[in-house]
Amino acid sequence: MQSPPATLVVAYHGGRGHTAALAAAVVTGAETVPDVEVREVRVDEMTVAQWRNLDESTAIVFGAPTYMGTASAAFHTFAEASSRRQFVRRWQDKLAAGFTNSGAKAGDKSGTLGYFATLAAQHGMTWINLGLPAGWNKSSGSEFDVNRLGFFAGAAAQSNVDEGPAAVHQADLATAQHLGRRVGEHARVVVAGRQALAVREELTR
């Protein structure tokens, strides 16, 4: 019996366009996984249909720029609105992951990724980390290594504050693509596993 498709939603707020470029890369990565349907949701433009997309998804990837050590205010507004789902455990056992961007190499991005992970935990979701070793940390490495900034909880990017989204670093886009592919693969396994368990339980009745 063929498993139904997994659904992955990239829920993000973009500031000046850099984070939106990363969101597009996450989508690109996720779309390489068979049997995974991918959607984008801009959290500052939520509609009833978009909330439904999140509610019906297998996995949600959160994204926002890092401003003053945490996610943007627009993302925080979305997170607070999601508390209605938290009260009824609507997102319980979904998969979750995150990505962020800042102007500095470090830029306190860990604060934002940690905030995403805490939000996911409050909803009872299962966090998917980046799953990559650090790049650009030895003499033979380069700034074009995947995970060049060495973050592990999620995908982190750095964009110069005097350049537009077209200048988002190729290594950071590749890292975001990897995250999308990784979450998509996990989502596919979850859907297939749940179906297999349901079939086995039906056969043993």
Q: Do residues 181 and 125 touch, judged by C-beta distance below 8 A? A: no
Q: What is the pLDDT of residues 147-180, one digit of tens each?
A: 999 999 999 999 999 999 999 999 999 999 999 9
Report the percentage of the chain scoring pLDDT > 90.
91
Question: What's the rounded Cα separation, in Å, for the pair 135 and 24?
Answer: 22
CB 158 within 8 A of CB 102: yes
Residues composing the chain: 205
Which residue has better confidence, 3 or 21? Answer: 21
Burial of 49 (0-12, 13-18, 19+ CB in 10 A): exposed
Residue 38 and residue 31 in contact, taking contact as beta carbons nearer than 8 Å: yes
The predicted structure's pLDDT at residue 12:
98
Q: What is the mean pLDDT of residues 20-26?
A: 98
3-state class (DSSP) for residue 135: coil
pLDDT tens-digit map of 109-136: 999 999 999 999 999 999 999 999 999 9
Mean pLDDT over each residue of the chain, to the nearest integer: 95
What pLDDT shows up at residue 164?
Answer: 93
- Which range is most confident: 75-79, 101-105, 195-199? 75-79
